[in-house]
Structure 1
Amino acid sequence: MEYNAGMRIDALQAFMAVAELESFQDAGQRLHLSQPAISKRIAALEAELEHRLFDRVGRKVGLTEAGRAYLPHARETLAALADGERALDNLADRVAGTLELAVSHHVGMHRMPEVLRAFIARYPNVAPQIEFADSEHACQRVLNGESELALITLPVAAHPTLIARTIWPDPLAIYAGRTHALARRATVTFAELAAHAAVLPPPDSYTHRIIESALAAHGVTVTARMTSHSLETLRMLADVGLGWTVLPTAMPHPLTPLALPPLAMRRELGVMRHPQRHLSNAARALLAMLDAEARSSGSNLSNQDRNHVKADG
């Protein structure tokens, strides 16, 4: 088959869409193509690669072994193409175009509205595309080249690939519903806390690791009767009496803080980016606004983070 770069790019986009959505029809809707057009592109790619990439059983679509092996290479190819386009766009000084962001629900609801409002007003030719995702998944989107920036709860340990920048310090505290037995106590010990059920973020989340480490220092083993990535959900579960929980002190809610001994527990909210990919002018402009937000919120950026702020211009 004669190689055609344009055909290959179109086929890779179709391949990635089907792989992510597990549906030819949904992939067509995402790419504004008919289902037969998606099928034709996948068939052409399979013929060129001489491997079947998808198993089709009824309405279910799944990657074959060859498809799974090819997936990271296809993803990296499309990310490199997007990176090259951004590098060329940056030759002009215009701040315009699409800005792909991955945002955690908490940061999106409680930290970003004013920043986004000011950003949209200042740069009306930018079209932010926001994917709401758990912090861990948002990092993966930046790694995959699907989002330029992730605005999330930052990992506890340094990420092996991505650059983190703290924007908002986020102190945490332990709360319970007003009718909870511990809420009526003038003082509460950590042993008493451990004897009651908790509702917390999932064990694989960055926030859970922060909670687990802080409480372990006081001999408390974290075991949750229910988990959720949504802090709003945890607030509700605690409010109805299903257990105590941990929430940011800046988050409005009707819960009662428990009278525990002092507990140093906080997470860092901020932005993650890939150091080896060009940022669009729009992403650079948003980073500059976030840097100003960090200064106003009293965030103590590390020297390394500050160097990256300077390098980003």
Structure 2
Amino acid sequence: MDTEALRSFVRAAELGQLQQAADELGVTQQAVSKRIAVLERELEIRLFTRTARGVELTLDGQAFLPHARSVVAGVERAISAVRPGSRALRIDVLGLRSAQAVILHDYWRSHPGTNLDVVTLKVNDPRVVVAAVEAGDIDASFRTVTDPATLPRDVRMIPAFDSALELLVGPRHPLASARTLTPAQLRRHRIWVPGIAPGSEWADFYDQLATDFDLRIDAAGPHFGDEVLLDTLAESANVATLVGARDRYLWPTNHDLRRIPIVAPTLAYPISLILPRTNPHPGLRPIINHLANLTPLPAATWRPSWATTPRRGDR
């Protein structure tokens, strides 16, 4: 079976457009169409139906896609094994303003020759991210599977770093003048974290945080974006939110928002790195070493129950 035909099929399926797939692969749309047609004849099935917006997978195409993706990823890994670093290191982060992205940017600034591709998979389910790592679509992801026993055999997860939490409030909030805060001082205050997705790692995190410290975590309403959240905080006298100490937020100066560290104990969101168990991208090792050298949090730090201390062999 022609690997290039499989690669064309996978990209067309993921993009929903033959022309976009052709542009990415550096060939003409006609070449992509011919490759897929040959593949369909070989399989004796139809893989796509045409729509006004492009192409959509048939039921047979949906069944075939994960297997085709696995074959393409296997070929790419085989090539990388004999030609290390031939493709940019592709790492998934939750958002480009997240602590993960900030740390990767710091690493890249000190290693500007690194061929790095930072992506954001728009999914909340960590199983989808694990599948992307397993298929080779990405080389690693800053996500956490709270039950590591559910990871596939070919995928592993290691601790990356702990992200200390800060309270973010507007100037009219009762806690706005504090230099630091303890978790006990947050009780009875509304902490608004909109858009917590059920089944996500952060849903589990906030459930445990609220239970352990008797906090009022309010996830009501959709998340309309950081700008709306920051506007709400600036105007409110009773709403606060939690952010990571390294997370990058920008707001107008007249918002006068305050970021207040939480201490005694420090509240930490543990961030993990999901990566292949064998033959990881050669560019990952220097980044893992960089993460290991980040300044650790104080000894008095709270973490959720699923966070574990790194084992010597993990890194």
- Counterparts of 1:230-269 in structure 2, within 5 Å, are 234-235=229-230, 237-241=232-236, 243-251=239-247, 255-256=257-258, 265-269=267-271
Q: Per-residue displacement from partner, 1:217-256 (whole Å, max 9, x unpaired)?
A: 3455644234449767644543344942111134466534
- Counterparts of 1:58-73 in structure 2, within 5 Å, are 58-73=52-67
Query: Which residue in the other structure is 1:88 paired with?
Result: 82
- Counterparts of 1:156-305 in structure 2, within 5 Å, are 156-158=146-148, 160-161=151-152, 162-180=155-173, 183=176, 190=187, 192-193=188-189, 196=190, 198-204=192-198, 205-220=200-215, 222-228=217-223, 234-235=229-230, 237-241=232-236, 243-251=239-247, 255-256=257-258, 265-275=267-277, 277-283=278-284, 287-298=285-296, 302-304=309-311
Secondary structure of the 1:87 match is helix
Query: Which residue in the other structure is 1:144 paired with?
Result: 135
CA contact (8 A) 1:199 1:237 kept: no
CA contact (8 A) 1:214 1:263 kept: no
Of 10, 13, 17, which residue of structure 2 is paired with 1:23?
A: 17
* C-alpha distance in structure 1 between counterparts of 2:63 and 2:119, whole Å: 26
- Counterparts of 1:7-22 in structure 2, within 5 Å, are 8-22=2-16
Residue identity opposite 1:148 in structure 2: D
Question: Identity across aligned pairs (percent)?
Answer: 20
Residue identity opposite 2:117 in structure 1: Q
Larger mean Cα displacement after TM superposition, 257-266 or 199-208: 257-266
Q: How far 1:76 moved relative to its partner?
A: 0.8
Structure 1 unmatched runs, 5+: none
Q: How far 1:70 moved relative to its partner?
A: 0.4
Secondary structure of the 1:266 match is strand
CA contact (8 A) 1:197 1:223 kept: yes
Residue identity opposite 1:142 in structure 2: V
CA contact (8 A) 2:19 2:29 kept: yes
* C-alpha distance in structure 1 between counterparts of 2:115 and 2:107, whole Å: 15
CA separation of 1:199 and 1:96: change in aligned 2, threshold 3 A: same
Secondary structure of the 2:62 match is helix
Paired residues, number: 286
Which has the larger share of helix? 1
* C-alpha distance in structure 1 between counterparts of 2:314 and 2:191, whole Å: 43
Q: Per-residue displacement from partner, 1:271-304 (whole Å, max 9, x unpaired)?
A: 22121x4123333xxx234324423422798453
Q: CA RMSD in A?
A: 3.5
CA contact (8 A) 1:96 1:127 kept: no
Q: How far 1:67 moved relative to its partner?
A: 0.6
Residue identity opposite 1:15 in structure 2: F
Q: How far 1:81 moved relative to its partner?
A: 1.1
Query: Which residue in the other structure is 1:99 paired with?
Result: 89
Larger mean Cα displacement after TM superposition, 226-235 or 67-76: 226-235
Secondary structure of the 1:225 match is coil
- TM-score, with structure 2 as normaliser: 0.75
Query: Which residue in the other structure is 1:132 paired with?
Result: 120
Query: Which residue in the other structure is 2:108 paired with?
Result: 116
- TM-score, with structure 1 as normaliser: 0.75
* C-alpha distance in structure 1 between counterparts of 2:259 and 2:265, whole Å: 12
Structure 2 unmatched runs, 5+: 250-255, 300-307
Q: How far 1:264 moved relative to its partner?
A: 6.0
CA separation of 1:177 and 1:225: change in aligned 2, threshold 3 A: farther
Secondary structure of the 2:171 match is coil
